[in-house]
Amino acid sequence: MTKTNPATIELIEIDALIPYARNSRTHSEAQVAQIAASIREFGFTNPVLIDADDGLIAGHGRVLAARKLNLGHVPCIRLAHLTDVQKRAYVIADNKLALNAGWDDELLRIELSELNDEGFELDLIGFTSEEILALGLGDDEEAGDEPAGDAPKGNLSDRFMIPPFSVLNAREGWWQNRKKAWLAIGIKSELGRGGTVSTSARVGPDDEATYRTIGGRQRPAAAPGPRATKAASSAAMARGGL
């Protein structure tokens, strides 16, 4: 025969409730915050279950959330008919039986989608952003992910058309050739950014630009003025040139 008991709801002071010392169910700060948000939105719709001596049987998380909300009293249902063994078993059963339920993903997706369209905050239902995205709802960018199309692809060699290098490459021929090319235009890497070198050289046979290194930076030198050109011609004639 099915046992029945009157569901009389009592308002009990939070400080009078005694948590079950061997409660194996845990409640993280994040989950307690979710329960508190739910109580704030919907009200305290699920009474706490207590024994004849105000000991908690079910609803430890709800009591923690009520404390977070600074509530002085919580609605309780007293299960005075349970034996000590039944109370201990129900502390576990109240949590485990709920976990054994499943979801109809299609119906859940429809319900959440419609709630979202109505502007309801889905966080209040208890689903994480990852779970909502897994159902095909929400926006990847809102979850903090960058669009896949903007992410760099390939390795450094593919992206910049040069192979990665390190100080160990300095003895190789291709590195020495590169260093010679730098020196040809006045770059002296061993001086660092604080060095000051003043030099000029042609970059190549087809490039008439002259560069000057000032404070470690390469800048195009100003074109020679008329006086500089005339002085250079006179010096050349004195040497027997031209």
pLDDT (tens digit, 9 = 90+) per residue, 131-184? 888 888 876 554 444 444 454 555 444 544 545 555 555 556 666 777 777 677
177, exposed or middle or buried, with CB in 10 Å at 0-12, 13-18, 19+?
A: exposed
Confidence label for 200 from pLDDT (cuts 50, 70 and 90): very low
Q: Please, what are the domains in the chain?
A: 9-99 (3.90.1530.10), 102-151 (no CATH), 161-222 (no CATH)
Average pLDDT over the chain reads 74
Strand order in the sheet with 9-13: 9-13, 73-78, 48-50, 56-58
Separation of alpha carbons 115 and 118, rounded Å: 5
Most confident of 48-57, 201-210, 226-235: 48-57
Average pLDDT over residues 212-228: 46
Higher pLDDT among residues 107 and 229, named by residue: 107
% of the chain residues with pLDDT over 90: 45
Question: Residue 128: what pLDDT?
Answer: 85
Q: Is the pLDDT of residue 26 over 80?
A: yes
Query: Which of 5-19, 73-87, 177-191, 210-224 is predicted with the least confidence, judged by mean pLDDT?
Result: 210-224
Amino acid 27: pLDDT: 94
φ, ψ of residue 218 in degrees (nearest 5)? -95, 125
Whether the pLDDT of residue 242 is over 90: the answer is no
